[in-house]
Amino acid sequence: MSTATAEEATGAGNYFISNYPQYSFWKPEYVPDALAVLQREAPADLPLGIYFHIPFCRKRCHFCYFRVYTDKNAAEIKAYIDAGVKEIEMYGDKPYLQGRKPKFIYFGGGTPSYLSAGQLKDLTDRMKAVFPWDEAEEVAFEGEPGTLNEKKLQQIKDLGVTRLSLGVENYDDEILELNGRAHRSGEVDRAYGFAKSLGFGQINIDLIAGMIGETEANWQACIERAIADEPDCVTIYQMEVPYNTTIYKEMQQSGKLTAPVADWPTKRRWVSEAFAAFEAAGYTVTSATTAVRDPEKTKFIYRDALWGGADMLGTGVASFGHLGGVHVQNHHDIGPYLDIVTRGELPIYRAYPTDEEERLIREFILQLKLGRADMGYFRSKFAAEVAERFSRPIEHLRAEGFLEMDGDILTMTREGLLQVDKLLHEFFLQEHQNARYA
Ligand code: SF4
């Protein structure tokens, strides 16, 4: 770490790209654009997903930048669920959404598994009454290992969950403690074992390369242990230290510009080694962060549909959505969220109406994060010649050895894929370059 250049060191800020244009361009003055979409006729063939955000956690991780609540009691959680359902009911009446059946559902957080089985059943029954799930191809659910026992996992499966994602992050108890995680490795083993025996359609485990205290030997041990568990999918993030995290606050207090975690080249190497080990075990790398055991069987519909331009209704506090080409985000504090919904209004805080060119860039860069973009797709969907439109960044990335072109297919090399978030800015419109992400 000590020899890393300023560019290689892990400084503060978000590097991970999940949308375009960046969230810093979304504004309250664009909310009428989102409301206007809701009055339009429902599109005939655009897939719809529903995201519901559960902002509660047992404990706040030191690297977490989400607004999470660790002190809410059962009555407050019930009030939140009631508000979430009311929000969904309000959307259910809108012309743009009325009668549509979701193709995918996603419960994210926070910690969805923080809710009791009874609270989850209540929530999902009432959601299904507005938007029936009978055509849903995927119901994804994030779980924190320490909140899950066999009975609760069975109840979660009974709700219709097809993709269970366990936030393992690391298998070493000392590293979990140092990073403020609530769970320990024994809870991972128990939760994973039960989930596996219950036969969820797909189990994903999340790992983070470069947490505070990570070492070469421990990372290798993490990889071996994850492979031995044979998950359907593994998602490996490179540790970032956004503003608003406990780690960043400590950096500020001690006047440090560099976070106390591994530098970027080390984190890239660790992910590269993990991918190589998973490939040797028969897995296929399917994006900059994922490897799957059986690419034919193991899909991630939420990600692929969203990144392909699908509608997604984001519900719950702070949630993000995308409807009719307009990005939408809800109020990020639970107080205003509850007040607004209780008044019978939609809790949209900010929005951004994308134009055709921004939608093209969004889909193109997100598909590059999957490692592959088909230029024929963009020709037929956007009437755009990607090779001409992006000739400079494409040539630059090819010259650097990060990208290859074969006919209509652009493929990120492994070296490019491991740092794809850093490279994608070259495809942004001039006015979006060098802007803060969040
Ligand atoms: S479990 Fe996730 S959402 Fe909750 S505090 Fe940790 S990082 Fe944040």
Q: Indicate which CATH number applies to the domain containing 422.
A: 1.10.10.920
Q: Which two tokens stand for residue 83?
A: 């508000």
* Vertex 343 angle, CA 342 and 344, to 5°: 85
- The verdict on the CB of residue 60 being under 6 Å from ligand 1 is yes
Which of 244, 279, 305 is at the close of a domain? 305
Q: Is residue 163 part of a domain?
A: yes
CATH of the domain at 59: 3.80.30.20
Would the pLDDT of 357 be above 80? yes
Q: Which two tokens stand for residue 136?
A: 């849903």
CA of 417 to the centre of ligand 1 (A): 26
Residue whose CA is at the smallest distance from ligand 1 atom 7:
64
- The verdict on the CB of residue 398 being under 6 Å from ligand 1 is no
CA of 60 to the centre of ligand 1 (A): 6
Q: Which atom of ligand 1 is nearest to the CA of 181?
A: 6
Q: Is residue 157 part of a domain?
A: yes
Q: Is residue 93 part of a domain?
A: yes
Q: Do residues 282 and 413 both lie within one domain?
A: no
Residue whose CA is at the smallest distance from ligand 1 atom 6:
61
- Give the three-state DSSP class for 96: coil
- The verdict on the CB of residue 232 being under 6 Å from ligand 1 is no
Would the pLDDT of 20 be above 50? yes
CA of 318 to the centre of ligand 1 (A): 14
pLDDT score recorded for residue 46: 95
- The verdict on the CB of residue 111 being under 6 Å from ligand 1 is yes
- The verdict on the CB of residue 65 being under 6 Å from ligand 1 is no
Residue whose CA is at the smallest distance from ligand 1 atom 8:
64
Q: Do residues 295 and 388 both lie within one domain?
A: no
- The verdict on the CB of residue 143 being under 6 Å from ligand 1 is no
Helix (H) or strand (E) holding 197: helix 185-198
- Give the three-state DSSP class for 88: helix
pLDDT score recorded for residue 63: 94
Work out the pLDDT band at 437, boundaries 50, 70, 90. low
Q: Which two tokens stand for residue 38?
A: 């809701």
For the segment 271-286, the average pLDDT, to the nearest whole number, is 98
pLDDT score recorded for residue 244: 87
Go through 73-97 and write b for each residue having 16 or more CB atoms within 10 A of its CB, e for each that does not. eeeebeebbbbbbebbebbbebebb
Residue whose CA is at the smallest distance from ligand 1 atom 3:
110
Q: Is residue 327 part of a domain?
A: no
Residue whose CA is at the smallest distance from ligand 1 atom 2:
110
Which of 305, 325, 341 is at the close of a domain? 305
Domain count, the chain: 2
Q: Which atom of ligand 1 is nearest to the CA of 144?
A: 1
Structural domain containing residue 85? 26-305
CA dihedral 111, 115, 121, 122 (to 10 degrees): -110
In percent, the amount of the chain with pLDDT more than 70 equals: 99
Lowest mean pLDDT among 148-152, 195-199, 241-245, 365-369: 241-245
pLDDT score recorded for residue 438: 63
Would the pLDDT of 22 be above 70? yes
Would the pLDDT of 420 be above 50? yes
Q: Do residues 273 and 371 both lie within one domain?
A: no
Rounded to two decimals, the pTM is 0.96
Q: Is residue 202 part of a domain?
A: yes
Which pairing describes strands 104-109 and 48-54: parallel, antiparallel, or unpaired?
Answer: parallel
- The verdict on the CB of residue 68 being under 6 Å from ligand 1 is yes
CA of 240 to the centre of ligand 1 (A): 14
Q: Do residues 90 and 176 both lie within one domain?
A: yes
Instruction: Select from 61, 166, 235, 240 the residue to mutate for testing ligand 1; criterion: most ligand atoms less than 8 Å from CB.
Output: 61
Name the residue with higher pLDDT: 253 or 88: 88
Nearest C-alpha neighbor of 420 from the set 392, 400, 391: 400
CA of 244 to the centre of ligand 1 (A): 13
Q: Do residues 256 and 377 both lie within one domain?
A: no
How crowded is residue 33: how many other Cβ atoms within 10 Å of its Cβ? 18
CA of 98 to the centre of ligand 1 (A): 33
Instruction: Select from 64, 107, 187, 208 the residue to mutate for testing ligand 1; criterion: most ligand atoms less than 8 Å from CB.
Output: 64
Long-range contacts of 385-390 (CB under 8 A, 24+ apart): 386/410, 389/360, 390/364, 390/427
pLDDT score recorded for residue 2: 45
